[in-house]
Amino acid sequence: MQRIKSYTIDLTRIQGRGDFRCPKCGIEISPDDETEDAYTILEPVIRGDCLEKIILQCNSCRSQIHLTGFHILNKIR
């Protein structure tokens, strides 16, 4: 049985427009990609009325990626 790898990416620590590479296989993941060819959104995690993180799955290597850093957006609202 293959174990699923899990990674955390803090969006406040990446440069650019939110694009990043999967930590395991290197495929580019872009927030502008609405096709879900590269990734699938598994679950948004909400605490109270604030988005805490989004859990994605890379469609290439099946790794789970936990996107954090949304607290900055919550402060802007």
Taking only the tens place, the pLDDT of each residue in 10-51 is 998 988 888 999 999 999 999 888 888 999 999 999 998 889
d(CA 22, CA 57): 10
In the predicted model, is pLDDT for residue 72 greater than 80? no
Q: Which domain holds residue 13?
A: 6-76
Amino acid (one-letter) located at 44: P
Retrieve residue 60's tokens. 């290439």
The pLDDT of residue 36 is 87
Asked whether the beta carbons of 18 and 73 are under 8 A apart, the reply is no
Q: Does the residue 1 lie in any domain?
A: no
Q: Does the residue 17 lie in any domain?
A: yes
What are residue 7's phi and psi, to 5 degrees?
Answer: -130, 155
Q: Does the residue 38 lie in any domain?
A: yes
In the predicted model, is pLDDT for residue 74 greater than 70? no
Whether the pTM exceeds 0.75: the reply is yes
Domain tally, the chain: 1
The pLDDT of residue 54 is 96
Retrieve residue 66's tokens. 């936990």
